[in-house]
Structure 1
Amino acid sequence: MSWSLYKRTRSHSRVQLVFQYLTYLTFGAIVACLSKLPYAQRVALGGVWFQYIVSPISGSKARISENIEHVLPNLGLKDKQKVFGGVPNNIGRTFTELFFPDDFLQIIETCEITGEGYNAFKEAQLTGQPVILVAGHFGNYDSIRGRLVLEGHNIGSLYKPLSNPFLNRIYVSRISKIGFPLFPN
């Protein structure tokens, strides 16, 4: 990827673009190192890397804490701290899975989808009725979409573009391998 692909825009100052490009290069080096490991170790190390390195320096701790408070306001402090400790690791594991889509698809191919929602989806498919899937999730948000695509379903998906244009380009190319079409929201 060439630096010249990204011109200075109103939304990104030159300093921001330099920082984002350096972040992209660092991320690329880490992904290259992770690619040398077996998948399970790669995902685990990606979680640890995000939990102990990326999260503390990125300022994500405040956002994670606010989100936990918003979603689980009645949860006790001890339980909130337990959830808080696991969120950055889970984010890192998810991104590691998404940045290695071929391996990720092999893993989810063995997973079974169950439940009333899945049964309703299959029934709608049989009758030719269009379906909008809305999902909350724990873990990788692309697991269900990827599994349904592997079953032969055409699943469009909304995604939130990354604020770093260099990383976003790779992110979109990787999640496109899990399923397409994609629509930025």
Structure 2
Amino acid sequence: MGQFRQDEGGAAHWLTDRAARSLIWTAKRLPYATRTTLLDTTLRHVLGPMAGFRRRALDHLAYIYPDRPEAERREIADAALGNAGRTLIENYSHKGLRAQAGAAPITGDGLPAIEQARAENRPVIFVTGHFGNYEAPRHALDAKGFTIGGLYRPMANPFFNAHYARTMERVSGPVFEQGRRGTAGFVKHLRDGGMATLFFDIWSREGAVINFLGQPAPTSLSAAEMALKYDALMVPYFGIRQPDGLSFEIAVEAPIARTDPVAMMEEATRRLEARIATHPGQWFWFHRRWKPHRKL
């Protein structure tokens, strides 16, 4: 088991990871549809409440939608936890997720643009959020011959991050961990005409303050800055979960107009907000997107 070091998260992180590994291992012994239902139920009724995720989701929903009935906010919070549970086990179930995503209809106006970019060896930066299953678009487009990498922020729990990162690496193109070395690799990938994904619904100390769902949320400008610098298309895409809980619609939206970084990220934010308005239970409401008690 080795020594626990403080900078590795300590014993609590190690134990959390062991519990997660056990749950994932058990779930993967079950048929695909059954394992997704199991993780949906477990996150909604057991792990979500125990870990404080449900309370945080409810707090965020009250912050954003104070006028909505409490029962409606509870319903959205529970749906978000269920979606997160499904997403987690789907991302460890490549064969099943690829089958679902590969069969999904691709909607939106962005597909011709990315096909042309591929033909011209022009880079593409896909931007997305913690919504639906955010890996489903990579699976769907990889099945159609697109190679898509990504840049990700490592999780706070290094033990869990070590194996969860491998689920991203197995989907399509190269995946880079945020940091000097990873960002350099990501930039080289773009310069070579590559396609890659960036999440932008993450609180960023260095970012511009952009209202998200009506409240200020510091937002990284990196995606837009790199799109402008490397002449890359910036294309929002989303994996929208369907009512059966298993299948998806893959929305590949029209590229965001090349203006300035703040305006481009404002438009990306509006695109995500529109998806949340239609499917509020598919966004990760327990995600720390706002920190209202911190000075901006």
Report the counterpart of residue 163 of structure 1 in structure 2.
156
Structure 2 vs 1, CA of residues 121 and 137 (structure 1 numbering), >3 Å: closer, same or farther? farther
Distance 2:118 2:59 in 1: 39
Distance 1:151 1:34 in 2: 29
SS in 2 for 1:116: coil
Structure 2: 5+ residue stretches without partners? 179-296
Distance 1:67 1:181 in 2: 34
SS in 2 for 1:133: strand
Q: Which moved more, 1:168-177 or 1:124-133?
A: 124-133
SS in 2 for 1:132: strand
User: Quick one: which of 42, 56, 60 aligns to 1:49?
Assistant: 42
Note if contact 2:138-2:148 (Cα within 8 Å) is conserved in structure 1: yes
Structure 2 vs 1, CA of residues 73 and 121 (structure 1 numbering), >3 Å: closer, same or farther? farther
Pairs within 5 Å for 1:21-170: 21-69=14-62, 72-73=64-65, 76-77=68-69, 78-136=71-129, 138-170=131-163
TM-score by length of 2: 0.54
Aligned residues, how many? 177
Distance 1:35 1:81 in 2: 29
Structure 1: 5+ residue stretches without partners? none
Distance 2:18 2:129 in 1: 32
Distance 2:153 2:61 in 1: 20
SS in 1 for 2:80: helix
Q: Which runs of 4+ in 1 moved over 3 A?
A: 66-70, 72-75
> Are residue 8 (structure 1) and residue 1 (structure 2) matched?
no
Note if contact 2:49-2:55 (Cα within 8 Å) is conserved in structure 1: no
Distance 1:22 1:111 in 2: 37
Query: What amino acid is the match of 1:61?
Result: R
More helix per residue: 1
Note if contact 2:13-2:157 (Cα within 8 Å) is conserved in structure 1: yes
Report how far residue 44 of structure 1 moved. Answer: 0.9
Structure 2 vs 1, CA of residues 86 and 124 (structure 1 numbering), >3 Å: closer, same or farther? same
Distance 1:179 1:69 in 2: 38
